């Protein structure tokens, strides 16, 4: 059961293995600082390592309003260690939302962190905020990210050719993925059916 | 010479670190819990090695089942 939330107040979402909660500037720690300077981690979001100071990062984190923008830390249970974060943006006039995720703790890669935690965010966006569509735009060669979108029922609406500068300096393709509530309900029904089958 | 279907089954089984016989004809991201993000990465890499060239984005985004892998090998 997630804690009650009102617009503008910090958000907390619980999953079996993680707690997502609105980050405060004070939550930015040395790990977070190091992730932004890690070439391999930042390549996942097609971004060059950032030379931000701790003060810059804390100011950035403080700008999310918990109304139309959320910066959610992924805190592992039970040790409450910060292992990554989401930036979630909501376009209220058009009832659209997008999510970007960084899993900074490399030992957690391939452990289903994004599938588990983004499911809670998707539920919140569709059920609580009543958004009509959620979108994401991974780089075409970010295969784990592409997998996560597909596994959660997102459909590819467009392939944007040579749309961005890639990590190697060349032009890189990008996908536009989108998820509608009825697709999400179908994914959840399939998962429930699979989980109810005897092993 | 093995068929595209047999090669696809072998490639997917390798990516999932299982036996080809363990995969049903309906094997897909939706039906197999073992098909996770790292297995998907291994599958794409194995497919590209088998084809000897990178997959175009239109192919990458289509891959979600054993049938999709077979289709790509058939069209190569």
Question: Parallel, antiparallel, or unpaired: how do β-strands A133-136 and A96-103 relate?
Answer: parallel
CA distance A88 to A94: 15
Q: Is the pLDDT of residue B62 over 70?
A: yes
Residue A199 lies in a domain: no
Is residue A158 reached through a cis peptide bond, with omega within 30 degrees of 0 on the bond before it? Answer: no
Residue A99, domain CATH: 3.40.630.30
Residue A3 lies in a domain: no
What domain count does chain B have?
A: 1
What domain count does chain A have?
A: 1
Residue A190 lies in a domain: yes
pLDDT of residue A87: 96
Please list every residue in chain B whose beta carbon sits closer than 8 Å to the beta carbon of residue A144.
37-38, 40-41
Residue A39 lies in a domain: yes
pLDDT of residue B1: 46
ipTM of the complex: 0.93
* pLDDT tens string B27-50: 999 889 899 999 999 999 999 999
Residue A1 lies in a domain: no
pLDDT of residue A103: 96
For A19, the enclosing helix (H) or strand (E) is strand A18-22
Determine the average pLDDT of the residues in B56-74: 96
Residue B22, domain CATH: 1.10.1200.10
Please list every residue in chain B whose beta carbon sits closer than 8 Å to the beta carbon of residue A145.
37
Alpha helices (H) along chain A: 30-35, 39-43, 54-62, 113-123, 143-151, 181-196
Question: pLDDT by residue for chain A (199 residues), tens digit each?
Answer: 677 899 999 999 999 999 999 999 999 999 999 999 998 998 877 777 778 899 999 999 999 999 999 999 999 999 999 999 999 999 999 999 999 999 999 999 989 999 999 999 999 999 999 999 999 999 999 999 999 999 999 999 999 999 999 877 899 999 999 999 999 999 999 888 888 877 6
Contacts of residue B12, Cβ cutoff 8 Å, sequence gap at least 6: B20, B23, B27, B43, B66, B69
DSSP A82: E
Distance between A162 CA and the closest CA of chain B, angstroms: 11
Distance between A183 CA and the closest CA of chain B, angstroms: 13
CA distance A23 to A66: 10
Q: Is the pLDDT of residue B8 over 90?
A: yes
CA angle B70, B75, B76 (to 5 degrees): 100
Of the pLDDT bands very low, low, confident and very high (cuts 50, 70, 90), residue B10 is very high
Please list every residue in chain A whose beta carbon sits closer than 8 Å to the beta carbon of residue B31.
194
What phi and psi, each to the nearest 5 degrees, are found at residue A24?
Answer: -100, 155
Domain range enclosing B33: 4-75
CB proximity B55 to A under 8 Å = no
Domain range enclosing A98: 12-194
């Amino acid at each position: 059961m997630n804690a009650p939330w009102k617009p503008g107040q910090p958000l907390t979402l619980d999953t079996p293995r993680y707690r997502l909660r609105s980050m405060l500037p004070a939550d930015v720690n040395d790990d977070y600082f190091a992730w932004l300077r890690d070439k391999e981690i930042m390549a996942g979001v097609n971004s060059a390592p950032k030379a931000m100071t701790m003060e810059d990062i804390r100011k950035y984190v403080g700008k999310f309003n918990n109304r139309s923008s959320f910066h959610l830390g992924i805190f592992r249970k039970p040790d409450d260690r910060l292992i990554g974060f989401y930036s979630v943006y909501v376009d209220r006039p058009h009832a659209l939302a997008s999510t970007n995720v960084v899993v900074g703790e490399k030992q957690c890669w391939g452990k289903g962190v994004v599938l588990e935690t983004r499911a809670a965010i998707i539920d919140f966006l569709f059920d609580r905020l009543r958004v009509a569509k959620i979108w994401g735009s991974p780089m075409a060669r970010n295969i784990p990210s592409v997998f996560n979108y597909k596994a959660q029922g997102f459909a590819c609406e467009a392939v944007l050719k040579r749309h961005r500068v890639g990590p190697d300096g060349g032009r890189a393709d990008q996908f536009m993925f989108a998820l509608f509530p009825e697709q999400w309900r179908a994914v959840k029904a399939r998962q429930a059916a699979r989980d109810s089958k005897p092993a | 010479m093995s068929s595209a279907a047999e090669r696809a089954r072998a490639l997917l089984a390798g990516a999932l670190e299982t036996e080809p016989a363990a995969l049903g004809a309906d094997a897909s991201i939706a039906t197999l819990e073992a098909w996770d993000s790292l297995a998907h990465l291994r599958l794409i890499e194995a497919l590209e090695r088998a084809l000897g060239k990178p997959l175009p984005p239109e192919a990458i985004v289509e891959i979600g089942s054993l049938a999709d892998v077979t289709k790509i090998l058939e069209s190569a």
